[in-house]
Amino acid sequence: MLQNHYFDPTSSFHPYVGSLDAREGSIAPDNALRVDLPFAFTGDGTPKKENVPSEYKGFWPCEEDGIWILAEDHRGEQGYVDGKSVTIKDVGPLPDGWSDTPPPQPFHPGPDYEKQEDGTWLRIRYTRKDFMLWCGIDKLMQINAAIAEGNVMVETIKDLLMAAEYISIKDPDTVQMAHLLASPQGGSILTPDDVARILAGQVWEGETEAA
């Protein structure tokens, strides 16, 4: 059966859109070829992505200089170009700057952050919950074990930490508590490196954020 295989001439890649029977002796329309397609669509045979044979998934027949070629087909895929959400609507390769990963959200520093000379933002205070989470289960177990053994200094420091609404790396009391927890009489709950990180405002990894 003679058929006209139509393509969309308004699209830059001239993608195939469907076929109709043709009369013998007629001339193919400007937007159709009578050249066999690269493959037969499966299922009900309609030109839909889900009917593309598995070996041709991700490609689509397109007219080029009077023949059918296979072009990349990403229609329906969602991603980001230059930080903006994009849904691919046409046949062809992915646009320049395409990414499947959403762009990082802009950082909005609050009163807990202080801008540094290099333009980054440093977190300078934390809630007591933040501080105890940073300590982690191991350090908390050490703290509680020291208290159980009668270490009054550790118990006092823990009480002060739990009572504080905020713990600031610029607060002399916080600095003193950190030193005491790293001292022999404090039970060496924190290491000297822990104290250095606290005093440098690096209580957690990655706490500095780009402006």
DSSP3 helix / strand / coil % (the chain, rounded to 5): 30, 25, 50
Q: What is the residue-wise DSSP string for 39-92?
A: S---TT--S-GGGS-GGGTTEEEEEETTEEEEEE--TT-EEEETTEEEE--SSS
Predicted confidence (pLDDT) per residue in 43-66, tens digit? 999 999 999 999 999 999 999 999
10 Å Cβ neighbour count for 88?
Answer: 19
Smallest Cα–Cα separation from 162: which of 134, 129, 136, 190?
129
Element counts in the chain: helices (H) and strands (E): 4, 12
Q: How is residue 138 written in tokens?
A: 């191991």
Predicted confidence (pLDDT) per residue in 101-138, tens digit? 988 877 677 777 778 788 877 777 766 666 666 666 76
If residue 175 lies in a helix (H) or strand (E), which one and from where to where?
helix 172-181
Predicted confidence (pLDDT) per residue in 142-158, tens digit? 778 878 888 777 777 67
- State the Rg of the chain over Cα: 33
Q: How far is CA 56 from CA 19, 31, 51, 68, in A?
A: 19, 23, 10, 14
Averaged pLDDT score across all residues of the chain: 79
Domain ranges for the chain: 1-102, 113-199
Q: What is the residue-wise DSSP string for 126-137?
A: EEHHHHHHHHHH
Q: In a 3-state reduction of DSSP, which class is residue 22?
A: coil
pLDDT band at residue 93 using 50, 70 and 90 as cut-offs: very high
pTM (2 decimals)?
0.53
Instruction: Report, as an integer, the average pLDDT of 161-179.
Output: 64
Residue type, 176: Q
